[in-house]
A and B are shown apart, each in its own frame.
Chain A
């Protein structure tokens, strides 16, 4: 089955801890994206990657980091520098940047 997986579905962390959210795709897509959703707001782009070993900041990259060591994987680390980390995080991929995006099921992160 081709698709995008994100794990875990729910994640709880204490304030001050870094946490890494997983995103894997087996669609052979070059581009991958991380979005954040907060109540009453549209999806906001955190980071994106057009190709392996390359990634770019999106609109709200502060307090986050990513890596793209493999084509199929694009993990997102929420660092302790992120002031409001509690949110719903969606990962997506597309054949190339700008093409139709395919989304994972999301991870809801709660930091207390």
Chain B
């Protein structure tokens, strides 16, 4: 079992603020890092899959970076909106191909 950690556990921000949170994972035998967004009462939805050190992916106001040498990824949300409220999950994949999930960061954007 891989130890994937996310911080903070929960976060409240005002609408319009930018925010970021962290996913830490073991850097040995790393293959890919997945980010998912999980809104209440819905299914988790894939945001990004990153594999290369220094990768940066962007989707609208959300972006993510990856550092495989030190074993962390940041997720950034620019100008948070109430619809960004969700739990953001990261999962690390090793060469064995299964995903190991963190506990998630629960984001609440206050209008």
Contact = CB atoms under 8 A, between A and B. Distances in A.
B46 A102 contact: yes
Kindly state the interface size class of chain B when it binds its partner.
20 to 34
A100 B46 CA distance: 7
Contacts, number: 46
User: In terms of DSSP, what is the predominant structure of the interface of chain A?
Assistant: loop
A48 B103 contact: no
8 contacts: A45-B98, A45-B99, A48-B98, A90-B44, A101-B34, A102-B46, A103-B36, A103-B45
Interface of A: 4, 35, 40-45, 48, 58-59, 90, 97-98, 100-106
Interface of B: 1, 4, 31-32, 34, 36, 41-46, 49, 89, 91, 93, 97-104
